[in-house]
């Protein structure tokens, strides 16, 4: 009830045009690193020591910084509008080119006895991709490129729905990043299914995309859009952080 009261008291105001930012990924990494097991913490320290000064937070945006045509599809998955948000790998992830399969592959590398440099690279991908699969429009529709082609206007300014969810709702949180952290610390206490199920996480995101009002009517973003979807944003960030921690705690158990 405290979280709900906090969220409903916030008034979202859109800012200028949005550019891609890593604030959400850094927040997710912060949440995860507060929940490491002692074993995972020790193993992560060994891997991160390969790049002096690196932390889970600092590497959380690496996968976007090195994005290439060969890896671009690893950041999302598209499901048909009539799929009922039911993920089918043969249909939705051809040749393993989607975020679901990418998470599974990188987790396997991190859990393996591969050279430390390869395992660090897998860690960098995992930290980022677990965040991506929890962003609703990274499991959206192919025909509008996950909301990238869905233009919206608010306050006389234009952006697209994907950019709004990637950056706008986070960067324009009332009270700034400290206020968002406070809200997340409340949200992260809520129960969450922490099993390692990337396909299920994608289906959760897809169902949010199909919810009423997610795509605003007439491409006009209502003034209360951010307020209405603030609880959803908090749930996705909190779930991503907790699930990332669970994944690392499991795959970093060395024989």
Q: What is the pLDDT along the chain (255 residues), one digit of tens a residue?
A: 333 433 333 333 333 333 335 999 999 999 999 888 899 999 999 999 999 999 999 999 999 999 999 999 999 999 999 999 999 999 999 999 999 999 999 999 999 999 999 999 999 999 999 999 999 999 999 999 999 999 998 656 788 999 999 998 998 899 999 999 999 988 876 666 667 899 999 999 999 999 999 999 988 888 899 999 999 999 999 999 999 999 999 999 865
Other Cβ atoms closer than 10 A to 223: 13
Query: Which residues, 6+ apart, have CB-to-CB distance to 130 below 8 Å?
Result: 28, 103, 198, 201, 240, 243, 244, 247
Please give the pLDDT value at position 114.
Answer: 96
- H helices within the chain, ranges in order? 2-8, 23-33, 38-48, 62-65, 89-92, 99-111, 116-134, 161-163, 169-171, 176-187, 198-209, 225-251
Under a CB-based contact definition with an 8 Å cutoff, are residues 160 and 184 in contact? no
Q: Which residues pair with 153 in a beta bridge?
A: 158, 220
Reading phi first (left if > 0) and then psi (alpha if -120 to 50, else beta), residue 214 is in: alpha
Q: What is the pTM of this model?
A: 0.89
What string of H, E and C letters represents the secondary structure of 58-80?
CCCCHHHHCCCCCCHHHHCCCCC
Please identify which residue in the block is written with the tokens 């927040």. 27
pLDDT at res. 195: 76
List of domains in the chain:
2-251 (1.10.575.10)
Nearest C-alpha neighbor of 18 from the set 163, 138, 162, 152:
163
Sequence-ordered list of residues with C-beta below 8 angstroms from that of 114, at least 6 positions apart, any chain: 122
Nearest to 247 by CA among 87, 114, 128: 128
């Amino acid at each position: 009830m405290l979280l709900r009261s906090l969220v409903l008291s916030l008034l979202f105001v859109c800012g200028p045009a949005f550019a891609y930012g890593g604030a959400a990924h850094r927040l997710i990494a912060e949440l995860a690193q507060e929940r490491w097991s002692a074993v995972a913490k020790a193993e992560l320290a060994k891997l991160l020591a390969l790049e002096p000064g690196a932390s889970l937070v600092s590497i959380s945006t690496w996968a976007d910084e090195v994005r290439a045509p060969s890896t671009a599809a690893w950041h999302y998955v598209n499901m048909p509008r009539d799929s009922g948000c039911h993920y089918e790998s043969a249909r939705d992830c051809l040749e393993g080119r989607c975020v679901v399969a990418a998470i599974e592959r990188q987790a396997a590398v991190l859990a393996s006895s591969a050279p430390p440099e390869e395992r660090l690279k897998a860690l960098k991908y995992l930290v980022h991709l677990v965040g991506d699969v929890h962003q609703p429009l990274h499991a959206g529709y192919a025909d509008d490129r996950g909301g990238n082609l869905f233009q919206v206007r608010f306050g006389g300014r234009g952006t697209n729905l994907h950019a709004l969810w990637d950056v706008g709702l986070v960067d324009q949180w009332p009270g700034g990043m400290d206020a968002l952290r406070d809200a997340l610390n409340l949200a992260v206490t809520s129960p969450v299914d922490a099993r390692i199920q990337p396909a299920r996480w994608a289906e959760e995101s897809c169902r949010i995309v199909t919810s009423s009002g997610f795509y605003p009517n007439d491409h006009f973003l209502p003034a209360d859009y951010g307020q209405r979807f603030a609880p959803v944003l908090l749930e996705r960030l909190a779930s991503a952080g907790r699930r990332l921690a669970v994944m690392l705690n499991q795959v970093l158990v060395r024989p």
